Amino acid sequence: MTGPFRYACWQALRQIPLVLTVASLGAAATWAAVTFLPQSYTASAHLLVDGTGVANDPRGPAQALGTAHLQKIEARIMTKARLTAILSELGSKVAFEDFQSAIMFETLSGREKATTMTISVTDADAEFATQAATLMTDAVLAEHQVIEDERVQSALAFFKQEVRDRKSALNKSFETLLDFKVNFAGFLPTDASRYLDQRKALLMQQASDQVTLPADPVRKKLIAEMAAASALYSGQHPKIRALAAQLKDTAARANAPTTDASSVQEDIERIDLALALIPANSLRLTALEDDHNMAQDQYEGAVSRLESAAVEERIAQRADGERLSVVQAAILPTLPSGPRQKIALALGLMLSTLLAISAAVARIRLDKVIRRPRDLQTSLNLIPFAVIPAK
């Protein structure tokens, strides 16, 4: 084992000049590349999203701005027309594609975390990167205000239309309720106590006069049918009107004598008819009043939401960029952001060392010079008889 080990060490020592030469050339090339490559500077501005204002959905509560809103701003800013205008304002002749690739938006958000946006511009000129980042920040704030104004105006228009619709529904329900009270005046729940008092007085009068007149069976049947129909149909229904006409005809064709007793009996029957109609009218009146109260509540709610939207509109007009504020403006960078010299040098040295070792191994593997007895056997298939020592 001593011979092969010594030979391996001898071969390794022979490759040291090659390893040092290749490694030195690689390190020199790396240093030159890092030194002479153009450096870039990055200027960044940080914005914070607040959580107050008009909701995205005009029918819902106010919500915090989310990443979707910031992405919408980014999409509007990164158009060719907007970036070209910013380049024109900067007075730069940088190509649109280069300027577009130099801009980076980064949005961070999460549960129970504030939403932030970072606007970064990278360029070889630190002053240009700072000015560009500042103009991009101003453009983002202005675009945010435009979107907020559009959203507030949309919400305001929605609530105005809702107030008009609710007002129309309220007026319609009031007219329906009023028509019902007019058409059924005298047959409403408020008239029941008066009819009961009158009927009680008539019965007492009838008992004192000892008047006993048989009730007309046809009229009594019509009264029952009228009470049943009133529970299902309105006063203008053809069936109700027909029954009312029949009752009127029976009263006109009655052969009862026109005495006080007959008049009392007719008054009792008239009161019974009115009392029979009141329960159905009471149910219908309650339903109409409920509809009117609901329409009134909806109208008042729409008015309240319209007032809130109007307040939000004034806030949006007076507080420019209130919900998207600049936490840190872009400042002039003093250190380059790329390339990173230390990392590049370290990687270059590692690659140079690996390349030098690989070159040494390849040189050893490709060396065909015969230096040992075993080389004769492996290369020429010859068996040596004797070996002359080197010393």
Q: According to the model, what pLDDT value does residue 60 have?
A: 44
Q: According to the model, what pLDDT value does residue 104 have?
A: 92
Q: Which helix (H) or strand (E) holds 28?
A: helix 16-36
**159 to 58, 168, 202: CA distances (angstroms):** 8, 14, 58
pLDDT of residue 261 exceeding 50: yes
Higher pLDDT, 162 or 374: 162
The dihedral region occupied by 214, where left means phi > 0, alpha psi between -120 and 50, and beta the remainder, is beta
Q: Mean pLDDT throughout 111-117?
A: 79
Residues 6+ apart with CB under 8 A from 123: 40, 41, 94, 102, 129, 132
Q: Mean pLDDT throughout 343-358?
A: 82
Q: According to the model, what pLDDT value does residue 313 have?
A: 73
What mean pLDDT is reported for the chain? 77
User: For 286-339, how does the pLDDT look when each residue is reduced to its tens digit (9 = 90+)?
Assistant: 888 899 899 999 999 989 988 888 887 777 666 544 578 888 898 988 877 665
Extents of the domains making up the chain: 41-163+307-328, 181-304, 347-386
Q: Work out the number of other CB atoms within 10 angstroms of the CB of residue 384.
A: 11
**178 to 56, 78, 171, 294, 299: CA distances (angstroms):** 40, 61, 10, 16, 19
Higher pLDDT, 139 or 52: 139
pLDDT of residue 57 exceeding 50: no
User: For 248-259, how does the pLDDT look when each residue is reduced to its tens digit (9 = 90+)?
Assistant: 666 555 444 444
192-209 vs 260-318: helix crossing angle, rounded to 10: 170
The topology under which CATH files domain 41-163+307-328 is: Alpha-Beta Plaits (3.30.70)
Among 5-14, 84-93, 269-278, which range has the highest average pLDDT?
84-93
Among 5-9, 196-200, 238-242, which range has the highest average pLDDT?
196-200
Q: How does DSSP assign 224-275, residue by residue?
A: HHHHHHHTTS-TTSHHHHHHHHHHHHHHHT-----SHHHHHHHHHHHHHHHH
**pTM metric for this prediction:** 0.51
Q: Is 387 helix (H, G, I), strand (E, B) or coil?
A: coil
Q: Mean pLDDT throughout 182-193?
A: 77
Q: According to the model, what pLDDT value does residue 215 have?
A: 52
H-assigned helices in 91-191: 96-102, 126-183
Confidence of residue 368 (pLDDT cuts 50, 70, 90): confident
Q: According to the model, what pLDDT value does residue 309 have?
A: 82
Confidence of residue 61 (pLDDT cuts 50, 70, 90): very low
126-183 vs 260-318: helix crossing angle, rounded to 10: 170
**285 to 8, 89, 250, 292: CA distances (angstroms):** 113, 71, 30, 10
pLDDT of residue 342 exceeding 70: no
Q: According to the model, what pLDDT value does residue 220 have?
A: 67
Q: According to the model, what pLDDT value does residue 184 have?
A: 76
Q: Which of 102, 100, 109 is nearest to 78 (CA)?
A: 100
Q: According to the model, what pLDDT value does residue 59 have?
A: 44
pLDDT of residue 262 exceeding 80: no
